[in-house]
Every structure is written in C-alpha cells, then in structure tokens.
Structure 1
Amino acid sequence: MDYEFWKDIHERGGIPAVKSALADLPEDLPPQEAGAAAELALQVIEEDIARINARADQAEARARDLAEQTAEVNRRLTEHAARDADEAR
C-alpha cells in the first residue's frame, strides 16, 4: 500500500472511500504497516483538504472582485443618473 494506492482510492471515491479502505485493513496487519498506511492515507486526505481550501480562497477572492466591480458600476450609474437629472432641469 503505497501513496499511489491511496491516491487511486481517493480519486475513485474521495475521503469516504479512503476512510472505508482504512477501516477494511486486515486486523492482523503488522502495526508498522498499519501506521504507514494510515500516514499515507492521511497525506492524501490533507492534500484534498488543501485543494478544497485553495479553491475556496479563489472563489472568495473572485467574489470580492465582483463585489468591487459591482460597487464601481453602481457608483458610475448613480453619477450618470445625477448628471442626467441636472441636465434635465
């Protein structure tokens, strides 16, 4: 059970699949092998969480950017409407 083994399980079913595979490890697996398997599985899960967090950070930055753009457009529309109102008088 190497890193690629756990990565493949994760790619096929995500974190629940990795947890299930860990639970299905044979009870007579030597402690050192069980520990190594758990460490590799944890590494795969941590990488997935980091990837999800990075996407969330990107989405948050994009949302802030869109909010700033919306505020700028609103400001310009308000100025334009005020100018049109002044010209109409």
Structure 2
Amino acid sequence: MAGGWAKDGAEQAQIDSTLEDAVQRARSQLPRGESLDTCEECGEPIPEPRRKAIPGVRLCVDCQAAVDKTQSSVSGYNRRGSKDSQLR
C-alpha cells in the first residue's frame, strides 16, 4: 500500500529495482575467458575442479574468499528510492 504521493505498487517497484541492481552487479563480476592455472594474487596453483566449475577463474579459493569479504561491505541499499535522495 503506497502512501503520500507514491503510486500504487511503488514498494514493489523499489524492491524489483534493488533486486535488478544486485543481479547486474553480480553478473558484472563473473569471470570470463580462460581459467588461469595459478592464482594471479598469490601464485598458488588453482585446482582443476575449480577451473572446470568456474570458467575464467583467476584466483584460488583463499584469495577469492578475501576479495569476497572486502566486497561484502557493498550495500544493496537503493538510493533512488530513499527519502534522503528525494529531499536533495
């Protein structure tokens, strides 16, 4: 139920937009191309099952986990629908 000046279904539109942004961000980070034999960060060999499971993989499991940990701080917060962005 929308209130104020918002149209009916505005909440669902905001949820859909936030979800689409997250999907696009995830797709843009997928590896592409040929997998490397060794990690480009630490130089350790990348196991063959990992290379087959994730085409274009560039990092070993440990280095990828470290990258994922630093990227988890990215918020899925939709600024377009926030009250702060409407007040500016």
What's the TM-score once normalised by structure 2's chain length? 0.32
Q: Specify which structure has the higher proportion of helix.
A: 1
Q: Flag the structure with larger Rg.
A: 1
Q: Which has the higher contact order (CA 8 A, sep 6+)?
A: 1
